[in-house]
């Protein structure tokens, strides 16, 4: 190995990985730091990388690409994993993999590297997505190679090799393993490893406790065009801006907390807590918009396909042909998903209170309980019921 591109955060793990790669492979390390809306300053990673002897440093703002090309397409499918998880970590990995591969090709690197552990899903997501884009890419996963197995051993390694770590910050660091981007922030580890233990309230960072949320509800109107939110309360916004706005609005009302035990792709169960304010709103509002505009059978077929789509995202198959095939079908249905949804935010709840669309399939003349002036002949239902009952009646005669 002459040159390796590392997905680099500047934290403890990846700071050590820089040195470990340099020593183990005698290679030049190129660092890549992605801003996907984690809410923390990414520029300090540049100084840390320079201090580690890195000459080629890439720091990129990918928030709009993340929202536009990854999060929004996923929400057109109403994607949710195992009925709970809105896939905040999962959906960021293909974008980071994509840029790792592109930078590796640009700088003629021999391999890419990441800091995901050998127990988790991220190693699978990083690598499957990378191989889908470059069949010949080499991947170095230090956690599967070195003998460092704990935070303490990492700290000892840093001290032994003179790697600067902000010890004051480390002492104050949350005991949880956390990942954040525009869509969510996740928490794992520490007391959360006991599925019976309730999360400490001061763990949550983006949402207030529903008990402490305002006593007054907030009304929000979302405008949809082809299945995507394009405006909030009449103000046009980019996809990333939509998510930033909804994270603040919904988080202030205690919306978006979730506590899940999920099935990892590698086989184990894992308990994690998630804050997904914008995503919680987007899922609810999108389904409301579709309820008005989508044909019944198209909507039901989408619901049948969604779990397969969710598994693809969760397991790391974003760039796989089957996901792209489903995306094409999903996007075709979204041509008519246009209009406005009115929501009420209150004490941890997202309540749909109105929806309207020029593409609405709702016909008040037919649906009314009042006089319909012949729009629907109720006598027709008798034949409909008899035909559908025929096989059931034949079975009951046996």
121 is in an annotated binding site: yes
| Helix locations, the chain, DSSP H | 12-25, 44-51, 63-66, 72-76, 88-106, 122-133, 151-160, 167-172, 239-251, 277-293, 296-315, 321-333, 364-367, 380-396
The question of whether 153 is a catalytic residue gets the answer no
262 is in an annotated binding site: yes
Q: Is 119 exposed, middle or buried (0-12, 13-18, 19+ CB in 10 A)?
A: middle
- Cα separation, 279 vs 88, whole angstroms: 9
What is the DSSP secondary-structure string of 102-124?
A: HHHHHTT-SEEE----TTSSHHH
279 is in an annotated binding site: no
Of residues 122, 179, 228, 355, which has the active-site annotation? 122
293 is in an annotated binding site: no
34 is in an annotated binding site: yes
- Cα separation, 289 vs 357, whole angstroms: 8
396 is in an annotated binding site: no
122 is in an annotated binding site: yes
Coil, strand, or helix at residue 338?
coil
370 is in an annotated binding site: no
Of residues 151, 166, 177, 245, which has the active-site annotation? 177
The question of whether 249 is a catalytic residue gets the answer no
115 is in an annotated binding site: yes
- Cα separation, 310 vs 326, whole angstroms: 11
Of residues 13, 35, 179, 228, which has the active-site annotation? 13
Q: If we measure between CA atoms, which residue out of 179, 139, 124 comes closest to residue 320?
A: 124
The question of whether 215 is a catalytic residue gets the answer no
15 is in an annotated binding site: yes
Coil, strand, or helix at residue 263?
strand
Query: What contacts 24+ positions apart, CB below 8 Å, involve 362-367?
Result: 362/292
125 is in an annotated binding site: yes
274 is in an annotated binding site: yes
Number of Cβ within a 10 Å radius of residue 120 = 18
- Cα separation, 69 vs 118, whole angstroms: 28
| Torsion angles phi and psi, residue 144, rounded to 5 | -95, -5
Q: Sheet of 139-140: strands edge to edge? A: 57-61, 28-35, 3-7, 111-113, 139-140
- Cα separation, 124 vs 314, whole angstroms: 10
314 is in an annotated binding site: no
150 is in an annotated binding site: no
90 is in an annotated binding site: yes
The single-letter DSSP state of residue 68 is: I
Pull the structure tokens for residue 360. 């609405």
The question of whether 245 is a catalytic residue gets the answer no
Of residues 63, 93, 249, 355, which has the active-site annotation? 93
Pull the structure tokens for residue 20. 């470990």
Instruction: Characterize 297-306 residue by residue with b for buried, 16 or more Cβ atoms within 10 angstroms of its Cβ, and e for exposed.
Output: eeeeebeeeb
113 is in an annotated binding site: no
187 is in an annotated binding site: no
Annotated binding site for L-citrulline: 85, 90, 121, 125, 177, 186, 262, 274
Binding residues: 7-15, 34, 85, 90, 115, 117, 121-122, 125, 177, 186, 262, 274
| Catalytic residue numbers, as ranges | 13, 93, 122, 177
Annotated binding site for L-aspartate: 117, 121-122
Residues in binding site for ATP: 7-15, 34, 115
């Amino acid at each position: 190995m002459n040159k390796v591109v590392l997905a680099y955060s500047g934290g403890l793990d990846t700071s050590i990985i820089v040195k470990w790669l340099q020593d183990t492979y005698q290679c030049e390390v190129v660092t890549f730091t992605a801003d996907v809306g984690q809410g923390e300053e990414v520029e300090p990673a540049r100084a840390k990388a320079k201090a580690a002897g890195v000459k080629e440093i890439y720091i990129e703002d990918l928030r709009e690409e993340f929202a536009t090309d990854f999060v929004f397409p996923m929400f057109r499918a109403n994607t949710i994993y195992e009925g709970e998880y809105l896939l905040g970590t999962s959906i960021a990995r293909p974008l980071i993999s994509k840029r790792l591969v592109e930078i590796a090709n640009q700088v003629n690197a021999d391999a890419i590297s990441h800091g995901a552990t050998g127990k988790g899903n991220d190693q699978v997501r990083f690598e499957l997505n990378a191989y889908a884009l470059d069949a010949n890419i080499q991947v170095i996963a230090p956690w599967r190679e070195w003998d460092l197995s704990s935070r303490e051993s990492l700290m000892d390694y840093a001290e032994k090799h003179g790697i600067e770590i902000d010890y004051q910050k480390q002492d104050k660091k949350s005991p949880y393993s956390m990942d954040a981007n525009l869509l969510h922030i996740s928490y794992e580890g520490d007391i959360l490893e006991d599925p019976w233990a309730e999360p400490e309230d001061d763990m949550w960072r983006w949402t207030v406790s529903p008990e402490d949320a305002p006593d007054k509800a907030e009304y929000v109107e979302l405008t949809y065009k082809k299945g995507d939110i394009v405006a909030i309360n009449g103000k046009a916004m980019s996809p990333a801006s939509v998510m930033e706005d909804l994270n603040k609005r919904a988080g202030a009302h205690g919306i978006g907390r979730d506590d899940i035990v999920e099935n990892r792709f590698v086989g184990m169960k894992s308990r994690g807590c998630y804050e997904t304010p914008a995503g919680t709103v987007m899922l609810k509002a999108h389904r409301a918009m579709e309820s008005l505009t989508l044909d019944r059978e198209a909507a039901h077929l989408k619901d049948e396909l969604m779990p397969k789509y969710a598994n693809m995202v969760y397991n790391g198959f974003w760039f796989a042909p089957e996901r792209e095939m489903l995306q094409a079908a999903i996007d075709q249905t979204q041509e008519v998903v246009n209009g406005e949804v009115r929501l009420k935010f209150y004490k941890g709840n997202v309540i749909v209170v109105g929806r309207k669309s020029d593409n609405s399939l709702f016909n008040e003349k037919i649906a009314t309980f009042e006089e319909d002036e012949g729009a629907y002949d109720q006598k027709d239902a008798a034949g409909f019921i008899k035909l559908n009952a025929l096989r059931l009646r034949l079975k009951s005669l046996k």
